[in-house]
Structures are given as C-alpha cells and as structure tokens.
Amino acid sequence: MKCLLCKSSTENKLTNYIADLGNCIIVIHNVPTQVCTQCGEKSYSFDVSVRIQELINQVKNIVSGIAELNYSEVA
C-alpha cells in the first residue's frame, strides 16, 4: 500500500490508537496499522476502522477518565 500523503510505501505495524473524547481518553493498544516508512502517517483498513469505532462507542459512556484496551483481546 502507498501512503495517502507522500505516496511512499507503508509497512504493517502494531500501534496505539488514542481517542480524546473530552470526558475520557481511550487508548487501544496493538492496533494493526499501515505506517508510512517516510513520513510516519498511519492508516487503518476498513475493518480495523470499523472495530475501533465500535470499541469507542462501547466504552465512551461507561468511562470517565482513561480506559485502556488491547485490540488483540477485544477485536
């Protein structure tokens, strides 16, 4: 896959996704990500993006503060 910003190649890595929702922060560890080898831009597959949004929607109304999830355990 090519980077959407600089058109360089990307590599598959596990990264952290952080969502700051104002009333809480959700950190999802070990998210499958394509990372640009040149500029560091991160992109996610459609399936991973959908699952991230599902996890955020599940957690955002029950947590005030910081929530940490491990993608590989909840995906």
Of 21, 1, 19, the residue nearest 11 (C-alpha): 1
| Mean pLDDT, residues 33-47 taken together | 97
pTM score, whole prediction:
0.90
Residue 24: pLDDT band with limits 50, 70, 90: very high
Domain ranges of the chain: 14-31+45-74
Count other Cβ atoms within 10 Å, centred on residue 43.
16
Region of 69 please: left (phi>0), alpha (psi -120 to 50) or beta.
beta
| Mean pLDDT, residues 20-32 taken together | 95
Give the whole-angstrom CA distance, residue 52 versus residue 31: 9
Q: Which two tokens stand for residue 33?
A: 């990500």
How high does pLDDT run on average in the chain? 95
With beta carbons less than 8 A apart as the criterion, state whether 67 and 27 touch: yes
